[in-house]
Chain A
Amino acid sequence: MFTYVVRRLLGTIPALAGVVVITFIVSRVLPGDPAVMIAGEQATPDVINKIRVELGMDKPLYVQFWRYLVQLLHGNLGFAWHTGHPVASDFAVRFPATLELTLASIFIAVLVSIPVGVYAATKKESIFDHLTRVFSLVGACTPIFWLGLILIYIFYAKLGWAPAPLGRISQSVNPPTHITGLYVLDSLLSGDMVALKSSLGHLLLPALCLSTSTMAIASRMMRASMLEVLSQDYMRTARAKGLPERQVVYKHGLKNAVIPTLTILGLQFGYLLGGAVITETIFAWPGIGSYITQSILATDYNPIQAFTLISAVIFSLVNLGVELVWAMIDPRIRLQ
């Protein structure tokens, strides 16, 4: 297992090198001039030239790439003009918020999609099954930014059940003691029930909003793979042994059917990173996503470039993680 992980990690290096090249190409080769964006449309050619020299853009492309690579290997993701801080330190401050939101949305998606998909498959062609299919189709077609706003309208403006969509915790509540940076977990670990209630309340709507599409796709995948598993011989054998239906479905069926859903959840992680940019903007969630939106509005390109790169790295690592989970769930899969 260890050898496999090391080999796979080494195997991702060429892919990551490609990712670095693409990120560089996007910033330097496509039409659009970062110097003009920093200086503004009204800037004089002199000012633009000065910025171009400062950024090293007057140098040949291969020199620019080499400099970019050296900086990157030193952990330097550039400087964010609009905050006045290095991008890496801005990311470090904001990362726990995004991680908390993403993990919560995956948690909700798993919690809902797996039982729903299994139940829909066991009750094929029932009303529940049809409703699940409609939901999964509509869920995949609904714009996340619209859904977020509608959730705010219903649960905050109309019903008053949710707190104001402003940040991770109410302003009147002190954040929990910093342990992991994840407010819900930190509140639990430090036994701070007031912070727990407030942070959970703030987390629920954005996490629900972000998880909808994943929930829709994963429940459809779970239904499809469960249907296939239900028709297998070993399921008939399990029933013939006299096992209760519940045990047949959840013990024998689920373990065999869950792998494609896990793969989808892994692939959806990339979508969640993109979705986090939108969700965090709507709910004023102080994570990397809302930081990226601010960077877009300030035409500050370095943070966007860094986010693109980091997203691709995280995406590749999550997919490796999914492969490892496969092997844990299904002993027939040997990692070699």
Chain B
Amino acid sequence: MNASLQIQHARPVVRWRRHPVVKVLRNPVTMLGLLLVVVWLFCGVFAPLVAPYNPDQPNVSAALQAPGIHHLFGTDNYGRDVFSRVVYGARISIPTSLVAVAISFGIGVPLGAVAGYYGGTVSAVIMRGMDMLLAFPSLVLAMAIAAAMGPGLRSAMIAVGIVGVPEYARLMYGQTMSLRSREFVEASATFGSTNRAIVMKHILPNALAPLIVNATIGLGFAILTAASLSFLGLGVQPPTAEWGDMISEGSQYIVTGDWWMVTFPGLAIATSTLGFNLLGDGLRDILDPRQSSE
């Protein structure tokens, strides 16, 4: 009697511990990812409160100071506070990656859904088009698009967004193909639902999990690609504080030993990319456990 009571008592604890959300929250690696993302989101949203100086205000008398008490990350060649610029950089990099991923998602997912649902010629045309886009090395294509549109933030967002389209289209295509022959989809069709309603109400919600995971990891790589474009002079233009552009400006000073202008924006890119990657892996464990890497 006592033993059975104990077992009954123990069950909820075990279930609670096995819940995917709890498993992820107990995973230090995912928590590190979440922490990094939260820190950078906080910096982006509350930049005026976090940053001690105006990021664009030059102060020639304080130029090229090494990290210290007054300037935590040092100052650049114009005397601007590198810490403040790194903090404000989050205001550019994170929204840029969000818009870019939204473009990839917004174009890729409907294309993949249409190709997967209708099949036949429509599918062949769309998916071959996607294959052709995949034939381009992604950074090279992003460069070509950004260069064709003229350098700037908008070009960088669109370029990074277009480059990501085939990935989402392929993912959605695969999901739609496997879902369209499922009973609940066929039942909905039998009840006279329109194709559009079937895709929107039944296929998309069921395909969303891997798409969200992909989008989270994609945010990290979008930050990286957009920063690469800015480094090459194709993205955000000076004097706006943007991580890739800051590294580009600081690159001339690295040979003379002024390491801080390059090091801190680089760490910002690496940690934010890493954060979204780790968080994406953790989300996969919750949302899409079959695809989990572990």
A interface residues, Cβ below 8 angstroms from B: 14-15, 18-19, 21-23, 26-27, 30-32, 34, 36-37, 137-138, 140-147, 149-150, 152-153, 156-158, 164-165, 270-271, 273-275, 277-278, 281-282, 292-293, 296-297, 299, 301, 304-305, 307-308, 311-312, 315-316
Contact = CB atoms under 8 A, between A and B. Distances in A.
A277 B220 contact: no
B80 to A, nearest CB: 19
Contacts of A32: 148-150, 155
Interface residues of B, number: 49
Given A141-B270, A144-B228, A278-B231, A26 B138 contact: no
Given A149-B262, A157-B255, A304-B147, A270 B270 contact: no
Interface of B is mostly: helix
A95 B83 CA distance: 40
A102 B248 CA distance: 23
B253 to A, nearest CB: 10
Interface of B: 128-129, 131-133, 135-141, 143-145, 147-151, 155, 220, 224, 227-228, 231-234, 244, 247-248, 250-251, 254-257, 259, 262-263, 265-266, 269-270, 273-274, 277-278
Closest 3 CB pairs of A and B: A274-B139, A146-B266, A270-B137
Contacts of A273: 137, 140
A316 B135 contact: yes
A271 B137 contact: yes
Nearest to A37: B150
23 contacts: A19-B136, A137-B277, A137-B278, A141-B274, A142-B270, A145-B248, A146-B266, A146-B270, A153-B259, A270-B136, A270-B138, A273-B140, A274-B137, A275-B139, A277-B143, A278-B228, A301-B148, A304-B147, A308-B143, A311-B136, A311-B137, A315-B135, A315-B136
Interface of A is mostly: helix
A307 B140 contact: yes
Contacts, number: 158
Given A141-B274, A273-B140, A146 B256 contact: no
A260 to B, nearest CB: 14
Contacts of B269: 143, 146
A30 B145 contact: yes
Contacts of A142: 266, 270
Contacts of B250: 149
A297 B269 CA distance: 23
Contact of B224 (A21, A143, A158, A281): A143
B36 to A, nearest CB: 10
Given A137-B277, A150-B262, A277 B232 contact: yes
Given A30-B145, A32-B148, A146-B270, A293 B232 contact: yes
B79 to A, nearest CB: 21
Contact of A304 (B138, B144, B262, B273): B144
Contacts of B149: 30-32
Given A145-B231, A301-B148, A138 B274 contact: yes
A145 B228 contact: yes
Nearest to A268: B137
A157 B139 CA distance: 29
Contact of A145 (B144, B220, B247, B274): B247
A282 B248 CA distance: 9
A143 B270 contact: yes
Nearest to A305: B144
